[in-house]
Structure 1
Amino acid sequence: MTDLVRERLKTVPTRPGCYLMRDRRGVIIYVGKAKNLRRRVMSYFRPGAHHPPKVRSMVDTVWDFEFMTVKNEAEALLTEASLIKKYKPRFNILMRDDKRYLALRADPSAEWPRFACVRLVRDDGARYFGPFPDSPVVRAAKDFVEKRYGIRSCTALSPDATTHAHCLASVIRNCSAPCIGKIDAATYRANFEEACAFLEGKRPTVLGEVAESMHAAAEKGDYETAARLRDTFFALKEMTKAHFVRKTPEMHKADAQCGLEELAAALGLPKPPRIIECVDISNLFGTHNVASLVVARDGLPDRRYYRHFQIKSFKGADDPRAMAEVVRRRYGPESTLTATSPRADLYICDGGITQLRAARAVFNELGITDIPTVGLAKRQEEVVLDDGRPNVFLPRDSQALMVITRLRDEAHRFAITYHRHLRDRAIRESVLDEIPGVGEAKKMKLLRTFKSVYGLARAMPEEIAAAGGLSPEVAQAVSRAVRALTHHEDVQQ
């Protein structure tokens, strides 16, 4: 187990989610899911664990890993499948085909909307329900809502009397036959909205009706009907339990606004915080100490205002001190961000009471008293306060918790990505330390001239010699080393 993995294991939550294992080069080699991320990931690195050969080989290859949390186990399954198809990790031997899971699609803009089974979910303004791992569940749900709510099943863009001449759905499938005027547009639209509400899990009484019909059929001895209703009941229960509705941008904005209102009420803010800033600190045993600042506008991430910080005022691991430096560099009199970034209505420190007090101390030092500041502890997703009030535990299913944890996870991802970038750059640059004749001063001169190891790899040995004051032999050695490291073509012989 690497030191990076050992440190990362301390941050893994006990929530459902997916994890991505990376090798020394940063390549994703395995994607997995778990109902309890901490328990699953820890099991790979437990001393004395007896893994199968494939798993043991994978664990030996892991250099780093990352994780993401989701709402429940079913969503973790779908996220895992999506990540495997995207990255095709070499240790994943299952689910590597090109099959996509089924979803239901409904286009509200159509004159007579209908439901269709699709395998590709697009951002096209339509409403999507799914995807779901079990195709029969999707088809059973489609069949049920069509029959119960009279939704047409034909594929005609504009059904009319001509299309009805070749269709028997109004006779054998309970179709409301809008094509021949058996139902008006307003009533059909209302039925369609009720069908969508059912698929979103908002009509639980409908499931109760199916269960009652199933029991009634069984009591009458009609076991064939009871069995069919039983299969329908469990299929509908499974689909409405997960109800992964693909939300439109407008729906995301509405959820975010609801979350901001809930957050303002929970924290006692005078109004919903339109601009939220969240800061996360990342380091590995005190090296490459960095921070990330991410911003949400109206509850949704706004990447235009994301910022990285290399901690400069000290060396070592001290998160509260690093948090204080970030606040000072963000809001201090010498900050260049004050004029380019919007002022926060809520400032979130990723961490507990010590990080929060460090941030509040700097705000007080700067005379800034109108930016509410809180902490967000990872262990129980607890909102930490330092003003005499008890800490706040938001409901697990609240939109407010979704807003702040999504922003915290984004800050964590942004910090880890930057930390990994600096670490990898240091590893690449360390190759120069191994070449006799290249000291620290000459190494820094080369890196200042060519900007990076990749710039060195593109340079000719004569240019390297001139820039670094090196002999032709040493310049040739530098060129060979950096070209081999970056897999550059035409490696000097």
Structure 2
Amino acid sequence: MTTEPGVYLMKDRIGNTIYVGKAKNLKKRLSSYFMPSRQVKADLKTRSLIESIWDFETHTVRNEEEALILESKLIKQYRPRYNVSLRDDKRFWLVKVQLRTELPRFELTRLRKEDGAKYFGPFVHSGALKATLEWLNNEFGLRTCGQKNPGQHEYKHCHADVIANCSAPCVRKVSVEEYRARVMEAVDFLDGKGKRSRFAHLREQMQEAAERMDFEKAASLRDVIQNLEKTLSPARQFSRGRGVPTTVKPTEDLAELGEYLGLARPPVVMECFDISNVSSTHIVASMVRFSEGAPDNQNYRRYRMKTVATQDDFASMAEVVRRRYSRIVLEAQKANREFFEHNQEPLVQALYRLGDEGLAPIRLPDLVIVDGGKGQLSAAHEELMALGLGELPIVGLAKQQEEIFFPGESDSLRIDHSRGALKLMQRIRDEAHRYANNYNELLLRKRMSESLLDDVPGMSEMRKRALLKHFGSVTEVKKASEAELQMVNGIGPKSAEQIVAWFAEH
């Protein structure tokens, strides 16, 4: 086992990830769990964890910052029961600069968007990052005001120029071209260009301040250097399923899975379904798609049941499979009318051929996986048969013993838990489970929020629907004035007054 820094995943006997941790030295950290003194002195939770460990999976990284980023990603992905922290959706800070604007500035954000901006990060040391940005703005004379196009009015209320922290491009104390050159110099610095010479210059300044016995200045420069070192320490951004340094070998795992399942070719594209029904109020399903062994997030889908009113996993699975693959068939037929008029191939083979040639709007998967045993599998397979897709490879993965079931067969297949083929199936199943549960939680939170309107005096179901349709959310209803509320059909002056008064009081 390696002595490098990294992240480790602890798994139970059926392959579920039960704990994710990070370490400066993987070998030392993992061996510490099984020292006799650790097992005797450990608390009840730790002893329970140790007794449940059946296998390990490790991922090596370059430094501690990367270990923290990867640990956070994997905890959010697997949500292990023995992890408490880092399970929320909070992300590490990023630095953003929109170079398309006339006077760009640096901003902090937690979300990377496709907006044409340049992003740096993620950064694990938030305090060091904020101090670094403050130094960067001061060093290069960059603006920190929030206005997109500041002018004379904003300048009158700004003190950054007075204390020489800003070059004041808003009133052209420097030209736009000169200001943008300063921004690009700061961008290059965050990219690591010229870092060595700037650090050397800062250390020289610190030494000179110490020799002059200006220890306050020297301490300040020391803090600047330490913050810059923490912030600019190279760390990659790991995404779920992509770019993670791992022992997983997608090509080999796919080939192995194809052999175990007796498929004609490795399942390069897989789709997995899961049902989540916390109550009969919200019965939802998820479909996640893996391509070449990695999540294809853009092609995830989530469904609310239309024909199932009570908790019925079999009927729910049938509905979601029917909706998914009837759409694939209809869109393929619509886009290739002439092909289907003359084609004599079985439907599955025809769809595969169109997919391989790039002519199918949605490529038919090489393998369908349903989360569940014989009942869920049977319900899903009957729908495929009805659609003419009976030849589409489909299996069920029962979580309790990780058994793999095939349509019409009583015997199950069990793959050794150390095999990459099973781990690949577990990953897509766990991702489908996570995606379905997240959707159910989202709907539950939305319903709880909307239920606030039920307590408003005189609120009917019709008025409630009209308000939500007009404003979009309860939050926007709260902000609305009486005049704005009266613009909604069915809301008169008295009702608007009651709504405003009720929200003001509560």
TM-score normalized with structure 2 length: 0.48
TM-score (norm 1): 0.49
Higher relative contact order (CA 8 A, sep 6+): 2
